[in-house]
Amino acid sequence: MNIALITGSSGLIGSEAVSFFSDKFDLIVGVDNNLREYFFGKEASVEWNKKRLEEKFKNFKNYSADIRNVQSLEEIFKEYGNDIKLILHTAAQPSHDWAAKEPFTDFTVNANGTLNMLEMCRLNCPEAVFIFTSTNKVYGDTPNYLPLVELEERWEIDTTHPYYKDGIDESMSIDQTKHSLFGASKVAADVLVQEYGKYFGMKTGVFRGGCLTGPNHSGAQLHGFLAYLMKCAITKNHYSIFGYKGKQVRDNIHSSDLVNMFWRFYQKPRQGEVYNAGGGRFANCSMIEAIKICEQISGNKMSYSYTENNRIGDHIWWISDVNKFKSHYPGWIWKYDLKTTLVEMHSSMSSRL
């Protein structure tokens, strides 16, 4: 039997992966205990998504296990053993601000939880491919010291800089920078996944995401930029912009495009490899630009306010250079541009809000 084990299986990336891999594996084992509701409140609960997956995919089985609990994980891994061919680890505490409220919780979920998953893989199914969703926040605030230029609606990098054409590549240091506690816990996990590949020879891949987005995102104020923005556009709830004049730039990758990266890595895995994974020059926007697009799609004028207090360790400008991944897997390309993603998001949210 071929089994894919997906943590955070009811979240944005996890649920996209369940859908994508459902016809490629005999069984999809999900691990998700809805900690997102604890982090961000009832509006961020993923229970609706879990129920949707259980109804739609007969070969999906969810375990409400906590990745911090080794015993709970061990029971699952012992049950399926070497039949597990793919582990996709997407479960995380994903917010800068929330991490500072509960550092122990943040670190044990992001770092210890990842170590638990790696050890369970090594001890029970060492030949499985292990894919980890890291974050561009592992680079800390180093990108903020690039030669940035303020334009009318966005920050941009100087046109003479090597990063201007395609964005920031994996050669940027993740050391000697301010990460936020969230970024620090993800650095620990990121390096652990690399080490299990390089030290133990396991098939591990690290994907440092930009803004991950898509129609199944349970967006909240502290996490899920585009999803929460579109939710506010539809419901006419107030939206708050934190710092940088609303001109901060993010690249955005649709969950489907990211999962397609995972699929290609699974078919031809490497040991301890690292990739930046974002929308690149193909799909990026500033906060101001995103608000205008959401207003256009929803037909609603948005209510929003601005505060100078930017989030600690937050990026002023980030665009991912994905050329390294493209060179290793030349068949991959983005399918969802920014407007296509937001139109899809609007349609999905309107039906359930």
CATH number at residue 248: 3.40.50.720
- Positive or negative: CA dihedral 214, 220, 226, 232: positive
Which tokens hold the place of 166?
A: 């395609």
Q: What does the pLDDT read at residue 226?
A: 84
In a domain, 104, yes or no: yes
5 strand-pairing partners: 29, 87
Q: What does the pLDDT read at residue 146?
A: 98
In a domain, 233, yes or no: yes
**Cα–Cα nearest to 208, from 346, 84, 320:** 320
Percentage, residues of the chain above pLDDT 90: 84
Exposure b/e, 145-166, CB count within 10 A at least 16 = b: ebebeeeebbbbbeeeeebeee
Q: What does the pLDDT read at residue 119?
A: 98
Least confident range from 11-15, 30-34, 183-187, 219-223: namely 219-223
Residue ranges in 29-174 assigned as alpha helix (H)? 35-40, 47-56, 70-80, 96-101, 103-107, 113-124, 163-166
Average of per-residue pLDDT across 247-262: 96
Which tokens hold the place of 60?
A: 């999906």
- Positive or negative: CA dihedral 39, 45, 50, 56: negative
Q: pLDDT tier at 301 (50, 70, 90 boundaries)? A: very high
Q: 155-161 contacts: CB < 8 A, separation 24 or more?
A: 155/244, 155/247, 155/248, 155/249, 155/286, 155/316, 155/317, 156/249, 156/317, 157/317, 157/319
Q: pLDDT tier at 175 (50, 70, 90 boundaries)? A: very high
Number of domains, the chain: 1
- The answer on pLDDT for 219 being more than 60 is no
**Which strand (E) or helix (H) includes residue 341?**
helix 338-350
**Cα–Cα nearest to 284, from 210, 227, 346, 207:** 210
Torsion, Cα of 282, 288, 294, 299 (10° steps):
-140
- The answer on pLDDT for 214 being more than 70 is yes
CB 118 within 8 A of CB 192: yes
Q: What does the pLDDT read at residue 218?
A: 61
Average of per-residue pLDDT across 148-167: 98
CB 275 within 8 A of CB 208: yes
Q: Which burial class, exposed, middle or buried, applies to 1 when counting CB atoms under 10 A from its CB (0-12, 13-18, 19+)?
A: exposed
Q: What is the pLDDT of residues 43-62, one digit of tens each?
A: 889 999 999 999 999 999 99
Average of per-residue pLDDT across 19-30: 98
Q: What does the pLDDT read at residue 220?
A: 56
Q: What does the pLDDT read at residue 87?
A: 98
Average of per-residue pLDDT across 316-321: 98
Tell me the residue type at 18.
V
Q: pLDDT tier at 221 (50, 70, 90 boundaries)? A: low
Longest CA–CA separation in the chain, Å = 57
- Residue written as token pair 């609007």: 346
Helices (H) and strands (E) in the chain, counts: 14, 14
Q: What does the pLDDT read at residue 5?
A: 98
Torsion, Cα of 244, 255, 319, 101 (10° steps):
40
Least confident range from 149-153, 225-229, 271-275: namely 225-229
Q: pLDDT tier at 33 (50, 70, 90 boundaries)? A: very high
Domain span holding position 272: 3-346
In a domain, 351, yes or no: no
In a domain, 258, yes or no: yes
Q: What does the pLDDT read at residue 185?
A: 98
Least confident range from 89-93, 142-146, 215-219: namely 215-219
Residue ranges in 171-319 assigned as alpha helix (H)? 181-200, 225-235, 255-267, 287-298
In a domain, 135, yes or no: yes
In a domain, 228, yes or no: yes
Q: What is the pLDDT of residues 324-348, one digit of tens each?
A: 999 999 999 999 999 999 999 899 8
In a domain, 303, yes or no: yes
In a domain, 353, yes or no: no
Q: What does the pLDDT read at residue 135?
A: 97
